[in-house]
């Protein structure tokens, strides 16, 4: 068996183990996203949507749909990666992984893939739930898939970084509570950035979720708040920076050998 084949087997083992856990514990990993989506559609889509009418030329319930998919998808990807890395640290299993023949890159790709897979599973579930409230079409399915995977990858990397630095369970929840949730509500899920006051518009452009949701919505309806090419280049740049920074942390055993 070649060195490459051993790394592939190890990678597949880690990813499949977490996928099976996600599906086995579906009431904890998938069902909450479906329930919150139903509530969002009932409250914002049906009740408020009838009064608002349309946003950016799109029926309001259709307007919020891509943002709801993206928001749930990003949180699912983040939660999956932070759980697998922090629990591996907590049980000292990560030390066995790092002394195995697996390269640091293979380890990172495995942890990253765990988040991407769960994020996509949740996205499919939320998209199916949305069909119960509205009919939608996808303008550019390739762009949609690319943005979905890229968004999950970015938030999985953020989760891995948080897990490596976290020393307690309390520190694991700091970033989702005080960073991700505020950014998601400022990210244009329920409104177009163009309707914000000038100060908040400028502030929103520093929010990475704005670029993800805007490009994701463009993939559905051909309408977005930010230029698509600029958004894609910016997101790719963020991904590359986070990837190599996280890879360095793993190679240096940051937060593992402390």
**149-18-20 Cα angle (round to 5):** 105
Higher pLDDT, 93 or 213: 213
Residue at 112 is within a domain: yes
| Predicted pLDDT of residue 166 | 84
**164-210-79 Cα angle (round to 5):** 30
HSE-CB of 111 using CA atoms within 13 angstroms: 35
Q: How far apart are CA 233 and CA 69, in angstroms?
A: 22
Q: Is 80 left (phi over 0), alpha (psi -120 to 50) or beta?
A: alpha
Q: Which residues pair with 54 in a beta bridge?
A: 59
pLDDT in tens, 193-252: 888 888 888 888 888 888 999 899 999 988 887 888 888 998 999 999 999 999 999 888
Residue at 257 is within a domain: no
Q: How far apart are CA 177 and CA 109, in angstroms?
A: 26
Q: 190 lies in which domain range?
A: 3-251
| Predicted pLDDT of residue 1 | 63
Decide: helix, strand or coil at residue 55: strand
Residue with tokens 């400028």: 202
Percent share of the chain, pLDDT over 90:
33
What is the Cα Rg of the chain in Å? 19
Residue 58, token pair as written in the block: 């799109």
Higher pLDDT, 46 or 86: 86
Number of domains observed in the structure of the chain:
1
Average pLDDT over residues 182-195: 80
H or E element, residue 258: none
Q: How far apart are CA 160 and CA 139, in angstroms?
A: 33
Q: Has residue 257 got a pLDDT over 70? A: no
Split at pLDDT 50, 70, 90, the class of 154 is very high
Q: Name every residue whose Cβ is closer than 8 Å to that of residue 41 and which is 6 or more positions away in sequence.
A: 61, 64, 68, 129, 130, 133, 134
| Predicted pLDDT of residue 258 | 55
Residue at 256 is within a domain: no
pLDDT in tens, 31-64: 999 998 898 888 877 777 677 777 777 888 888 8
Residue at 258 is within a domain: no
| Predicted pLDDT of residue 97 | 77
Split at pLDDT 50, 70, 90, the class of 192 is confident
| Predicted pLDDT of residue 78 | 93
Decide: helix, strand or coil at residue 257: coil
């Amino acid at each position: 068996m070649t060195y490459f084949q051993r790394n592939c087997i190890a990678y597949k083992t880690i990813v499949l183990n977490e996928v099976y856990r996600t599906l086995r514990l579906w009431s904890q990993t998938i069902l909450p996203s479906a329930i919150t989506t139903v509530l969002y559609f009932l409250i914002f889509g049906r009740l408020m949507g009838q009064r608002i009418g349309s946003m950016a030329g799109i029926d309001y319930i259709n307007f919020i749909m891509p943002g709801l998919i993206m928001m749930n998808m990003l949180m699912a990807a983040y939660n999956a990666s932070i759980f697998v890395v922090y629990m591996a640290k907590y049980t000292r299993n990560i030390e066995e992984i790092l002394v195995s023949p697996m390269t640091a890159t293979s380890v990172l790709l495995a942890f990253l893939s765990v988040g991407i897979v769960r994020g996509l599973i949740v996205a499919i579930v939320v998209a199916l739930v949305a069909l119960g409230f509205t009919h939608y079409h996808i303008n550019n399915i390739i762009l949609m898939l690319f943005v979905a995977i890229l968004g999950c990858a970015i938030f999985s990397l953020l989760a891995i970084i948080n897990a490596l630095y976290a020393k307690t369970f309390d520190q694991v929840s700091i970033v989702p509570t005080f960073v991700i949730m505020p950014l998601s509500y400022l990210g244009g899920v329920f409104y177009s950035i163009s309707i914000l006051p000038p100060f908040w518009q400028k502030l929103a452009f520093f929010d990475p979720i704005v670029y993800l949701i805007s490009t994701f919505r463009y993939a559905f309806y051909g309408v977005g708040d930010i230029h698509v090419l600029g958004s894609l280049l910016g997101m790719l740049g963020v991904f590359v920076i986070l990837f190599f920074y996280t890879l360095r942390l793993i190679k240096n055993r940051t937060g593992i050998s402390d």
